[in-house]
Amino acid sequence: MNTCARFVTDGIRETLAHYRRDDLPLHRLSWEPHTRIDTLVPHAPSRWVEQLRDLQRRVAQVATTTEPVSAPALTESERHILEESLTMLADVLNLAHS
């Protein structure tokens, strides 16, 4: 993995960590990886970038069901989709580093 791609993927990992520590709201969890993944396009294989985008879209879908200001609680189904997506996103990022 080249230096730029490593820098971007490390940023995505850090975003996930901030969310899991409750330091980042859900709408930002949706937005930040999206912009970082777009940065990867010239630096990473397109198939891998599309995997990341698909997982980010799942996160975004859950985020759009909540208002950033009022932040209602997620349903059990939304929480499951979100946790599964975050785990898979972390796994895809870890595979790229190995």
Chain-centroid distance of CA 25 in Å reads 12
The domain ranges of the chain are 3-97
Give the pLDDT confidence score for residue 90 in this predicted structure.
92
d(CA 17, CA 51): 20
pLDDT tens digits, one per residue of 58-78: 999 988 876 555 556 788 998
Number of neighbours of residue 14 by Cβ within 10 angstroms: 13
Number of neighbours of residue 75 by Cβ within 10 angstroms: 11
Residue of 70 and 42 predicted with greater confidence:
42
pLDDT band at 43 (very low <50, low <70, confident <90, very high): confident
Average pLDDT over residues 39-54: 91
What's the predicted TM-score (pTM) here?
0.84
Looking only at Cα atoms, what is the longest distance across the chain?
40
Lookup result for tokens 């937005």: 31
